[in-house]
Every structure is written in structure tokens, then in C-alpha cells.
Structure 1
Amino acid sequence: MKIETRLFIAGTPLFLLAAGVYALWTANTAQGWEPVGTLCILLVGAMVFMVGFYLMLTAKRIDERPEDTEHAEIADGAGDQGVFAPWSWWPLAIAGSAALAFLGLAVGWWILGIAIPFGIIALVGWVFEFSRGQHAH
């Protein structure tokens, strides 16, 4: 995770510099300084730093990966890569509820009344998928 951490941490000053350039650039326009865009770029820089900080903390907890060593072989990365659901229909239900929610924004707000309960049911089903049924543990 060293490379990912460095990439995100090094991206933070880039966004801070971009926010400063944007603030100066918009200050010289006829409308004057545009604070919303400057704030948004600063917030993107903060989010990039948070991701880098999270990756740095995660890298301290886990063993070194083959991607982090210069002399690693392809076979070093063989084996289990994690625990994943063998099959699940819940992501499709969540996508359907998200599509209904966006349709509600475009067509009518009343569709959100259908989409939100459907999305809550789908999310709860996905979260508790391994607590019941065939894959319960």
C-alpha cells in the first residue's frame, strides 16, 4: 500500500495549489472571486488526504504485499485475495432503487416514496445476507 499512500498524500498539495490558482484566476474576472469553486477544490484536497491517511493506517496493520516489493514474482500474489460473496442479487436491487430515485428526481417526487423504502429493504438485505440462509456463519 506504499504506492497508493504516496499517490494520494502527494495529490493533496496539488489540489491545494489548484485551489489557490483558481481563487486568483477568478478574482480577476468581472464577477469577482468565486468562493464556491475554491471551497470545492479545497474539499477535494481534503478528501484525497483522508484517503491517503486511511491507506497509511491500513498499511501499518497488514503485512507487506507483493506489489510493495521490487523483487516480487507473480507467484507471490497467488492464493486467496479476500472473502467475497459467491453470488448476490442485492446489488441489483440497490441499483434498481437508485434508478427509481433518479427517475423520481426527473419525473416526479412521488416516485421517491417508492424508491426509498425499496432501497432500504435492499440495503438491509445486502448487509444481513451472510446472517441467514445458505451462507450464514
Structure 2
Amino acid sequence: MKVETFLFGGVALFFAATSVIYAWWSDREPAGTAALIVAFIMSSLICFFFFMQHRRRGTRPEDHKDAEVHQRSGPLDFFPPRSIYPLLTAVGFTIAALGVIYGLWLFLIGVGLLGSGVFGFVFQFGERDG
């Protein structure tokens, strides 16, 4: 995370310098100055997050130049073989979107199907061990 910290720290410094120069050059035009300040704040937040992660967890195998690929590899997660819920979610979203155009009754049917699909996604393998 140390490399990422320096990367986003550099981006934050770039946006800070750019916002100061832009504010001075543009006679304090508020929209561009505000956008650059927000970009500075967002990149500073990401830099701070990576800094804290590096302090908490230490170095990763990716941080070492002599690291091997197998040092980071581990078991993958569970992937379901088949599921009807992606199709149900897509149909529900489509009907809900058409309901925005054609009427409330179609929208409510779509929301019901969409809710059923999302509920199925969340709880389909809820009883699975591990």
C-alpha cells in the first residue's frame, strides 16, 4: 500500500497546486476552483485510506521486488453453478423501467420482481457452510 499512498499523495498535491494556480489565474471563478478543491479532497481521502491500511496491515507481497505470484494466492471463494436470480433481477428491472413510462401498476410489478430477484441473490446460499 506504500506505493499507492505515494501515488495518490502526488495526485493530491497536483490538484492542490492546480487549484491554487487556477483560482489565481481565473479571477476566483468559483465552479472550476470548487471542482479542483473537491478533486484534491477526494484524492487526499484515498491517500489517507491507503496510508492507514499500510500502517495496520504492513507490507504485502506486491510491495517486495523479489516476491513470487504464489505468495499472494489463496483459496478462491464459492461460485454458484447456476441461478435463476440474475434473470429474475434483469426482468424485474426492465419491467420497472417500463413502468416508469407506461404506468404505476407496471412499475409496482417490476419492483416486486426486482425485489424477489435481489432477495434471492442475497439468501440463495445463506445456509451454505463455510
TM range (shorter): 0.5 to 0.7
2:3 and 2:58 map into 1 onto residues whose CA distance is 15
Amino acid at match of 1:80: G
Equivalent of residue 132 in structure 1, options 118, 126, 129: 126
Residues 130 and 136 in structure 1, CA contact (< 8 A), matched pair in contact too: no
- The residue aligned with 2:48 is 53
Alignment of 1:80 onto 2:59: no
Number of residue pairs aligned between Structure 1 and Structure 2: 118
SS at match of 2:36: helix
Alignment of 1:34 onto 2:29: yes
Residues 23 and 38 in structure 1, CA contact (< 8 A), matched pair in contact too: yes
Matches within 5 A, 1:12-27: 12-27=12-27
Larger Rg: 2
Gaps of 5+ in 2: none
Measured after TM superposition, the shift of residue 61 of structure 1 is 2.2
- The residue aligned with 2:9 is 9
Amino acid at match of 1:58: Q
Q: Larger deviation: 9-18 or 66-75?
A: 66-75
Give the TM-score of the pair, scaled to structure 2: 0.62
2:55 and 2:124 map into 1 onto residues whose CA distance is 29
SS at match of 1:80: coil
CA RMSD, aligned part only? 3.7
Gaps of 5+ in 1: 28-32
